[in-house]
Amino acid sequence: MTTQTIRSEITGTVWKIVVQAGDSLEADDTIMILESMKMEIPVVAPEAGRVVKLLVAEGAPVREGQEIAVFEET
């Protein structure tokens, strides 16, 4: 199994976290939703796997390129 860090593609705010650490996901399942300039941008699982750790909390500011979650491919 390969572990990878998921990074924010935008500067904004964590609007909603949809999953918890340990949750299993399919490819393209939503992990969290970021908000920037009144737009909601989903962060999705790159492929089937498991959320190892969330590195941000709801309401937290994020910057482009910031690590926001650790994901393990299955």
Structural domain boundaries in the chain:
3-73
pLDDT of residue 74: 87
Q: What is the CATH number of domain 3-73?
A: 2.40.50.100
Q: CA–CA separation, 3 vs 45, rounded Å?
A: 12
Q: CA–CA separation, 50 vs 3, rounded Å?
A: 9
* Phi, psi angle pair for 48, to nearest 5°: -60, 140
The structure's pTM equals 0.93
Give me Rg for the CA atoms of the chain.
Answer: 11
Residues of the chain with pLDDT below 70 are: none
pLDDT of residue 1: 78
pLDDT of residue 62: 98
